[in-house]
Amino acid sequence: MSFFDGIPVAPPIEVFHKNKLYLEETAPVKVNLTIGAYRTEEGLPWVLPVVHDTEVEIANDTTLNHEYLPVLGHEGFRKAATELVLGEDSPAIKEGRSFGVQCLSGTGALRAGAEFLAHVCNMKTVYVSNPTWGNHKLVFKKAGFSEVRDYTFWDYDNKRVHIEKLLSDLENAPEKSVIILHGCAHNPTGMDPTQDQWKLIAEVIKRKNLFTFFDIAYQGFASGDPAADAWAIRYFVEQGMEMVVSQSFAKNFGLYNERVGNLTVVVNNPAVIAGFQSQMSLVIRANWSNPPAHGARIVHKVLTTPARREHWHQAIQTMSSRIKEMRAALLGHLKQLSTPGTWDHITQQIGMFSYTGLTSAQVDHLIAHHKVFLLSDGRINICGLNTKNVEYVAKAIDETVRA
């Protein structure tokens, strides 16, 4: 007899499971288009040069130590992260209506934000886009949201944002529902609303008294321009809307396993900040007590030193332009092969992912017959492509859709 008798085995977390299957695959030719991590043209992980140099400086800085950070995190990092997403001249910053809370990457920021909204603000209904990142529903459920619902995002037939249905779903959401919006480079579709569509979304959320929770995991990584990628968030702030924003520095700094994130908070009345921060301190204290310093120090130094920041811009441009080249190459090969179906969405989408439209049966076929690994909803990580394997992948897709 054990306290743990009868615990059912949970299904594997697909993105990590598929990555593991790829690593275990012994076939000589195989391609990994699963987990969202950047790869170089050589198919290798990339430590950004500016991150490496900054790490060396930090290691040699004898004024630093491993004492605890404050519960809400590294102050310089929180300020720099908040300015990065809202813009230094944001009205919310100028009017003292915003602040950051250092969290364990984007997931930690989502979790802290969700727990705060559920337990301190008594918000219990959340809407996530359909489809969305595999972790959103789980985080909100575990954080205390009793109702986790979908709003339509994707038009599967026309491979575009289904703006009409999206707006009507929001229109029908009960007051005080939390609406999760992907700030840029929507995961998994890679398709963002246009600026005009964002304006319509903001209008409904504001009029219906819904609460905005932005998740921005790809700022700067998507287009190469951090301001352009934060356009929607800044527009919502200009409309006078309150919000929380989970920020991840996994992709745009390549700091995946350092768990560097921030929850940016924008309120209408600065007088509520003292209460907010004190309650948030208890949420953090009960989770990780206080955050790790290493990644936050790196991001802070890079964002606040002009020369380093310039090197970072170069790095995000290197990453985003390689991705654009691979999108064009994949589309080019599919067109050359006259692969049945429409594929223009591959270059219309941005960021790390393409939502190919391949069915789960076609995904199984690609893995079994071609050792091209991707998620069962047809999402591919474009970063897994390079000039040496893109034609192979296009031919594999071509054979699969004709099979």
Site residues (vs ligand LMR, CB under 6 A) = 15, 35-36, 133-135, 187
Annotated active-site positions, please?
A: 133, 215, 251
Q: Which residues of 329-365 are buried (b: 16+ CB within 10 A; e: fewer)?
A: bbbbbbeebebeeebebbeebbbbbbbbbbeeebbeb
CB 149 within 8 A of CB 125: yes
**How near is the Cβ of 22 to ligand LMR at its closest, in Å?**
13
The answer for residues whose C-beta is within 8 angstroms of residue 387's C-beta and 6 or more apart is 41, 329
Q: How many CB atoms lie within 10 A of CB 381?
A: 25
**How near is the Cβ of 314 to ligand LMR at its closest, in Å?**
24
**How near is the Cβ of 16 to ligand LMR at its closest, in Å?**
8
DSSP track, 310-352: HHHHHHHHHHHHHHHHHHHHHHHHHHHTT-SS--THHHHS-SS
- Sign of the CA dihedral with 177 first, then 87, 163, and 206 last: positive
**How near is the Cβ of 118 to ligand LMR at its closest, in Å?**
22
Give every strand in the sheet of 211-216, ordered side by side. Answer: 98-104, 260-266, 243-248, 211-216, 178-182, 125-130, 147-152
**How near is the Cβ of 136 to ligand LMR at its closest, in Å?**
10
